[in-house]
């Protein structure tokens, strides 16, 4: 691929990278590029980063720009909307199952003013985004820590850390969970199990797929794909039926990451 320049490249099964996307390092070849299985990298996406990793079933929509000197590592099942900017100059870690809505900007540095003239504003700080975090869209985010399941409503300006399962809104954003509740409600393992069984029935084919409640019920030696409700993980086989079922579940029915 002429549009990908890296010393080490690993691209997963069924991943589509549009021909006008650009993936390279800051100054020539990237050192390490890893893109998982069943991913999509859209038109005119630019990934200019020496160390870039993104997990399975992730989508980066058109005209997104990801850049930076330090590693940018993104987990499984990411959805990154069009015209998003992700800056990894200070370093970027984004967990599993995260959504970054269109036109959002995640910044890990501030740098421009003339220091000889006394400009005081120069900083680089790693941004840490947990699992199941959702920036709904048009969000601008400073280098914060966003704990698991936190959420920022459309147009939010995030300058402070986001706490577990809290919803934020405004400029600057503040928690509004006292009005809107939390992003996630508690669901029992039994109800999750029954819901997944319903999804499987809606999907219409139960061959080679099993829904279980615990890891102990998984046979890692057989050919079945097991979905473990308690741990939100699945035994990955990359069978056609597994891939079709995962695509059926995403983006909003259920999200699992591989064992």
Q: What is the pLDDT of residue 2?
A: 80
72 with 151, same domain? yes
**Is the Cβ–Cβ distance between 225 and 234 less than 8 Å?**
yes
The candidate with the shortest Cα–Cα distance to 136, out of 104, 180, 110, 163, is 104
Q: pTM of the full predicted structure?
A: 0.95
Do 32 and 66 sit in the same domain of this protein?
yes
68 part of a folded domain? yes
Which CATH number covers residue 87?
Answer: 2.160.10.10
My answer on whether 196 and 138 are in the same domain is: no
Identify the bridge partners of residue 94 per DSSP, sorted by sequence position.
74, 129
Range of the domain at 123: 9-180
Number of domains in the chain: 2
The reply to whether 35 falls in a domain is: yes
How far apart (Å, rounded) are the C-alpha atoms in residues 246 and 199? 11
Give Dmax over CA atoms of the chain in angstroms.
69
With respect to residue 146, please indicate whether it lies within any of the assigned structural domains: yes
DSSP state letters, 121-140:
-EEE--EEE-TT-EE-SS-E
Q: Is residue 90 part of a domain?
A: yes
Which two structure tokens, joined as six digits, stand for 221? Answer: 């030696």
Write down which residue in 180, 214, 231 finishes a domain: 180
Q: Is 258 exposed, middle or buried (0-12, 13-18, 19+ CB in 10 A)?
A: middle
End position of a domain, from candidates 115, 147, 180: 180
Q: Are 9 and 38 in contact (CB under 8 A)?
A: no
The answer, yes or no, to whether the previous bond of 251 is cis (omega within 30 of 0) is yes
Structure tokens at 201: 């029935």
Q: Are residues 15 and 100 in the same domain?
A: yes
* Residues 29 and 101 grouped into a single domain: yes
φ, ψ for residue 242, nearest 5 deg: -65, -45
Query: Which stretches of the chain drop beneath a pLDDT of 70?
Result: 1
State whether 203 and 171 are in the same domain.
no
The answer on 230 and 116 residing in a single domain is: no
Are 208 and 244 in the same domain?
A: yes
Q: Does 197 lie in the same domain as 139? A: no
Last residue of a domain, one of 180, 209, 229: 180
The crossing angle, in degrees rounded to 10, of helices 189-203 and 240-249 is 120
Which of 80, 76, 90, 73 is closest to 45 using CA atoms? 80
The stretches of the chain forming alpha helices (DSSP H) are 177-180, 189-203, 240-249
Question: Quick one: pLDDT at residue 1?
Answer: 66
Specify if 254 maps to a domain. Answer: yes
pLDDT of res. 201: 95
Residue 135 maps to a domain: yes
**Could you tell me if 90 and 140 lie in one domain?**
yes
Are 53 and 173 members of one domain?
yes
């Amino acid at each position: 691929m002429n549009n990908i320049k890296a010393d080490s490249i690993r691209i997963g099964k069924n991943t589509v990278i549009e021909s006008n996307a650009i993936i390279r390092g800051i100054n020539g070849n990237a050192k390490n590029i890893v893109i998982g299985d069943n991913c999509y990298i859209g038109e005119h996406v630019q990934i200019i980063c020496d160390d870039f990793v993104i997990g399975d079933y992730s989508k980066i929509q058109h005209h997104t720009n990801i850049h930076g000197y330090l590693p940018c590592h993104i987990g499984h099942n990411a959805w990154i909307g069009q015209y998003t900017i992700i800056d990894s100059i200070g370093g970027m870690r984004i967990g599993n199952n995260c959504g970054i809505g269109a036109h959002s900007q995640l910044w890990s540095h501030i740098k421009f003013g003339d220091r000889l003239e006394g400009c005081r504003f120069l900083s680089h700080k790693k941004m840490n985004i947990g699992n199941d975090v959702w920036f709904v869209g048009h969000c601008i985010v400073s280098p914060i820590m966003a704990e698991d399941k936190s959420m920022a409503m459309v147009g939010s300006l995030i300058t402070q850390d986001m706490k577990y399962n809290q919803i934020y809104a405004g400029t600057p954003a503040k928690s509004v969970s006292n009005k809107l509740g939390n992003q996630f409600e508690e669901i029992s393992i039994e109800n999750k199990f029954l819901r997944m069984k319903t999804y499987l029935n809606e999907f219409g084919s139960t061959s080679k797929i099993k829904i279980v409640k615990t890891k102990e019920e998984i046979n890692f030696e057989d050919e079945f794909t097991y979905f473990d409700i308690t741990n939100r993980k699945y035994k990955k086989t990359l069978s056609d039926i597994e891939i079709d079922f995962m695509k059926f579940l995403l983006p909003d029915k259920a999200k699992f990451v591989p064992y």
